[in-house]
Every structure is written in C-alpha cells, then in structure tokens.
C-alpha cells in the first residue's frame, strides 16, 4: 500500500498547485470530491471491505495517469486478500 500513500501525496500536491492558480478554480469542483473518494482507501485498509476499495478506485480514475498508481495499489491489496481467503478455504476443506 506504499503506492497508495504515495499517490495520495501526489494528488494533494496537485490540488494545492491548482488552488494557487485562480484561473483553474473550476477544476476544483471535480478534483476535491474525487480526492475525498480516494480517501476511502484508508477505510479499506482497516475494514477490508471491497466496496471501500472500489470507491477509492473510482476517485483515482479522475487523476489518470497518477491515479493509476493508487488503483493498482488498491487492486493488489484486494487480490492479496482474496488469495488469502482462498487458501484458508482450501485448508479448511
């Protein structure tokens, strides 16, 4: 999940620079809600519920290509969880 945190930092820097330029204020109507959706990845880390991961990936989709790092990171964590559940299921049978 290091890539996830790294992509959050990059998105925060991007939003900060957009805030400094008054001619791009309209973009804030898209980037700020999308960045809030990206924070759902933090909830996913603690709850391991896939819905929060999907919401975070939707937020990262706005910030392509930087958001691709976040999407890949969350998807990797979700895949790891699914593999672990599959192995546990095989061991219980």
Q: Give the pair of three-digit tokens for residue 7.
A: 């992509």
pTM here is 0.72
Position 28 scores a pLDDT of 80
What is the domain range of residue 23? 2-92
Q: What is the DSSP string of the chain?
A: -HHHHHHHHHHHHHHHHHHH-GGGGGGHHHHHHHHHHHTHHHHHHHH--HHHHHHHHHHHGGGTTHHHHHHHHHHHHHHHHHHHHHHHHHHH-
| pLDDT tens sequence across 34-88 | 888 888 888 888 888 888 888 888 888 888 777 777 788 888 888 888 888 888 8
């Amino acid at each position: 999940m290091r890539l996830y945190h790294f992509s959050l930092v990059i998105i925060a820097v991007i939003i900060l620079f957009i805030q400094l330029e008054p001619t791009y204020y309209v973009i804030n109507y898209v980037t700020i809600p999308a960045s809030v959706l990206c924070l759902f990845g933090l909830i996913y880390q603690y709850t391991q519920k896939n819905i929060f991961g999907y919401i975070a990936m939707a937020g990262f989709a706005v910030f392509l290509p930087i958001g691709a790092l976040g999407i890949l990171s969350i998807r990797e964590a979700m895949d790891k969880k699914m593999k672990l559940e599959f192995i546990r299921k095989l061991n219980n049978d």
